[in-house]
Amino acid sequence: GQSRNVVVRNSRAERNVAGIEIENTIGADVYDNVATGNTGGILVFNMPNLPQPGHTTRVYRNKVEGNNHKNFGHKGTPVASVPAGPGVLVNSNDKVEIFDNDIGDHRTANVIVSSYFSTGYTDLSTSEDFDPYPEAIHIHGNRFGPAGDSPDNLELKALKLAKFGLNGRLPDILWDGYVNPSKLEGGKLPPELAICIDNGDAGIVNVDGPGGYKNISTDIEPHRCELPRLPAVELRAALEEKGEGA
């Protein structure tokens, strides 16, 4: 955590709570990895009590499958709040691009986008610069497998049953619905801060966490947008080889 210009590649993460995690990091490329059998596959998040807020992460060309392990994190620790069954989980982080991954077989959702307010550690102190809202999230060109048949959360279980039926599934992408009210324009986030989805027939469910799960929406139209592609991470050694390092 709290790093800059990170590359995580050619790794296998299995039987952990957090398979691969990018925490409070500025500039990360996560690619060509396998995450399977964990509680959560790949996590990109910002902790509230650390001085460096992270942003700008690319998650691509990974195989993220079957991350449904029971959470065995110590009670009261941040990882103990990770639900079983997200493939990729983004929490309180900005400028995250998720593309060209194989993601499937997750009981809660293939991708979860959530805020600090949906975690189990909202009693932690927060740093002065902490931004709890995930913004500028770009999800495109992934290959999604089955997900959302048995979410690891009582509210989500009830939601699934009520809205999608006993044998139904939650959509591939789940969003808790928290937005920064000070940034809304006409009742919605400006395009450059939105959750943008261009992923075939993949759907999204906004579970309305702020409203207590009362106004659930599966309308994808607000998310039919595009964001600029994020730049590749260039490691310092590579720059020095090009003669660009100091």
178 close to 209: Cβ distance less than 8 angstroms: yes
- Please give the structure tokens belonging to residue 98: 């998720």
- Please give the structure tokens belonging to residue 159: 């939601």
- Other Cβ atoms less than 10 A from the Cβ of 120: the count is 16
Half-sphere exposure of 166 (CA within 13 A, CB side): 0
User: Which DSSP letter does residue 157 get?
Assistant: H
The amino acid sitting at 207 is V
Question: Of 92, 79, 78, whose CA–CA distance to 38 is shortest?
Answer: 79
- Please give the structure tokens belonging to residue 195: 């959750």
pLDDT confidence of residue 119: 87
Question: Of 160, 1, 20, whose CA–CA distance to 87 is shortest?
Answer: 20
Quote the pTM value.
Answer: 0.94
Residues 177, 210: Cα–Cα separation, whole Å: 7
pLDDT confidence of residue 246: 41
- pLDDT tens, position by position, for the chain (246 residues)? 889 999 999 999 999 999 999 999 999 999 999 999 999 999 999 999 888 999 999 999 999 999 999 999 888 777 888 999 999 999 999 999 999 999 999 999 999 999 999 988 877 777 778 899 999 999 999 999 999 999 998 899 999 999 999 999 999 999 999 999 999 999 889 999 999 999 999 999 999 999 999 999 999 999 999 999 999 999 875 455 555 544
Question: Of 28, 89, 80, 81, whose CA–CA distance to 54 is shortest?
Answer: 28
1 close to 46: Cβ distance less than 8 angstroms: no
